[in-house]
Structure 1
Amino acid sequence: MMRAALAMSLPTYDRIVDTSFLDRLSRSVDLAPGVLTEFTSPAALASLADVDVLVTGWGCPVLDAAAVAAAPRLRAVVHTAGSVRGHVTPAVWERGIVVSSVAAQNAVPVAEFTLAVVLLAGKDVLGATRGYRARRARPGAPDPLNPGNPGNSENPGNPRNLGNYGATVGILSASLVGRRLLELLRPFDLELLVHDPYVPDADLRALGAEPVGLLELAERSDVFSIHTPLLPDTRGLVDARVLAALRDGTTLVNTARGAVVDAAALEAELRTGRFTSVLDVTDPEPLPADSPLWDLPNVVLTPHLAGSQGNELRRLTAAAAAEVDRLAAGLPLHHPVPHPALSRTA
């Protein structure tokens, strides 16, 4: 039976590891007790010396050349989260160690969160809520959506533009989250656009979306949703020019990484109030206490909530345990991470 060990921070261990996960792993591998939080102490080196599989999580120590050399039997790294950039180094691939990540499972709640935001944005829930609350001071005031009925919500825009029938949703990047979101949006009466220069147009059309350039995506979208991984060439990708191209009344959604958007340019545009933004991520994160984004009425800030939380973490550990099962059975991984893919993924 293969020998496996857990490697992650203690807060991560407390957050994601439960009895069912440990029992599931123990049915396939000989699981070392405890958790490795570093790879340099005598106890950690002794554990590494006879481990075949490392099951890693957020806060895993870096698997550099020294750590890899200390684990001569290591054949696989199974990550219980998304990106492996923080702990997997070229030394891992150079040794022929296979790597797996459950990024596809972590994409599910992010896409679900974004779907909810898209549909609520079509109804202008944020603006309608503000208007409805403000009408407390004006009992009997006409309702712009239905002038003959003063008891409903208020929306300052043209009622003909309100709703999700035929609205245009622009997806920035056909990443794992972007693709999952396109699947979730497909049953609705929406026009779907996507921009991803790394994916052939034919493949983007097969996802059910029209491929367009970045500026066209901004110009045509009622909801502009960012799903681009943060890489050197995507930092600040959504810059002042792209933000200026957004139409008045658009909703910008960012559940990817805050630094994909030029923070100064975003703040300047949001101060004008001409579009709404739902930001699950910011740059920096969290925002400084004196950032105007906290108080702007056209901004919704959530605390990096879209990714796996609470019971959704069980989806990640179940997928990781399934990968360990496959390794123990001599089967190929379901979710391998090839080294070249890191140039274009988070």
Structure 2
Amino acid sequence: MTDHASASRRSVGILLPEETFRRVFGQVDLQRLESHPALRLLADRPLRIDAQDAALLSEVEILVTGWGSPVLDAALLDEIPALRAIAHSAGTVRTLVTDEVYRRGIAVSSSASVNAIPVAEFTVALIVLGAKRAFWAAQRLREGAAEIDLEGSWPAVGIRSRTVGIIGASSVGRLVIERLRAFDLDVVLADPTLTPAQARELGVALVPLPELMERSDIISLHAPLLPSTSRMIDRELLRRMRPGTTFVNTARGELVDQDALADRLDDGDVTALLDVAEEEPLPLGSRLRTHPHAFLTPHIAGSVGTELGRLSAHAVDEVISFATTGTFAEEISASTFSLRA
């Protein structure tokens, strides 16, 4: 390759914990970074923030990050002076992108859109199983019940003709709405950022959050975690849930007042299916952890196992997009950071 061609290529560096790199990046996507004519992969391994890799860091123009990457503050950015873009091979970038990144004009992208896919799939599975009272029935079996009367024990059982309330038209929320079209049910949405016309385009009715809590048989939470949404699902809203309601949270535990939720579950007429918690893992003494009307999973709705390949493929796609066009296909701007990050 000529010097001119080499100079036209964008230098790419990977800044990930070694364990995360091995989990997420397969040989196919690493080979794409190594072989693309618009890229120059500086090392086929994660770079270290030390004297040994200082020279390589100083050349990085496009940085690939992911779970466990260090915070990109002013001190670290000074060690990467050529940096022009960050392609995050995971969902939220809140844990590593600082205001300094945007002050320096560095473009940011994440793989949140593809990480939303397994979350939506998992959520829909919980909605269907929750409507069937599958987790309650499984618990009764474990307790040794000889007969299980689903229909006699709950106000309603089954997914047909039920109302599902979606809180938040996020990437996950929209995918859940899309997938629920395959079912014979009604969907209502609460999201203060949408107009009724925009909701109709999604095929749902826009309603105030208190009304959603009262009308829905199944409630699924997909709001972003912001100062204004912390513990947004409070005691008063939880009290609005009618008997038989199933509450699903695959978003963030901090969106819910957990003590208030535990109190509502104590009434014995609602259930909660929770993949996230305010503190993870929940302490052994937590009421939610052992509550007979709560079903908990350890934050597994997002990409795991074979699903991780989507993250690396998307990050490489974004690296190639920036190298060839000067922009990301799914850029997170400073103005949209609070909602999309």
Q: Which of 258, 271, 274 is 2:269 aligned to? A: 274
% same residue = 43
What CA distance in whole angstroms lies between the structure 2 residues aligned with 1:155 and 1:123? Answer: 13
- The aligned counterpart of 2:25 is 17
The question of whether the paired residues in 1 share the 8 Å contact of 2:170 and 2:223 is answered with yes
- Tell me if structure 1 keeps the 8 A contact 2:213–2:238: yes
Identify which of 294, 307, 327 aligns with 2:302.
Answer: 307
**Is 2:53 the counterpart of 1:58?**
no
1:2 paired residue number: 10
**Aligned position for 2:47:** 36
CA RMSD of aligned residues (A): 1.8
Alignment of 1:239-318 (within 5 A): 239-318=234-313
Which has the larger displacement, 230-239 or 122-131? 122-131
Show the counterpart of 2:153: 156
TM-score normalized by the length of structure 1: 0.90
Could you say if the C-alpha distance between residues 20 and 297 of structure 1 is closer, same or farther in structure 2, counting changes exceeding 3 Å?
same
Q: Please name the residue that 1:148 is paired with.
A: none
Whole-angstrom distance in 1 between the partners of 2:61 and 2:216: 49
Write out per-residue CA displacement over residues 136-175 of structure 1, whole angstroms, 9 at most, x where no aligned residue: 54xxx6x75xxxxxxxx675124xx222121000011001
Partner of 2:119: 110
Deviates more, 1:88-97 or 1:245-254: 88-97
Partners of 2:219 and 2:167 in 1: CA distance: 7
Equivalent in the alignment of 1:82: 91
Question: Structure 1: how far apart are the matches of 2:112 and 2:27?
Answer: 23
| Partner Cα separation in structure 1 for residue 111 and residue 185 of structure 2 | 29
Report how many residues are paired: 330
What is the CA–CA distance in structure 2 between the aligned matches of 1:131 and 1:51, rounded to whole Å? 57
Shift in Å, 1:17: 2.0
- Would you say the 8 A contact 2:66–2:89 is kept in 1? yes
**Residues 127 and 155 of structure 1 are in contact (CA less than 8 Å); yes or no, is this contact kept in structure 2?**
no
Of residues 315, 318, 333, the one that matches 1:323 is 318
Residue-by-residue CA offset, 1:284-309 (whole Å, 9 max, x unaligned): 11111111323222110101010000
Checking the alignment, whether the CA contact within 8 Å between 1:243 and 1:265 is kept in structure 2 is: yes
List 4+ stretches of structure 1 deviating above 6 A: none
Aligned-partner Cα distance in 2 for 1:47–1:270 = 55
Secondary structure of the structure 1 residue equivalent to 2:159: coil
Which structure 2 residue ranges, 5 or more long, are not aligned?
A: 1-8
Measured against aligned partners, the alpha-carbon deviations of 1:273-294 in whole angstroms (never above 9, x if no partner) come to 2210001001211111111323
Unaligned runs of 5+ in 1: 145-152
Q: 1:180 aligns with which of 175, 195, 204?
A: 175
Question: Structure 1 stretch 6-15 or stretch 312-321: which is displaced more?
Answer: 6-15
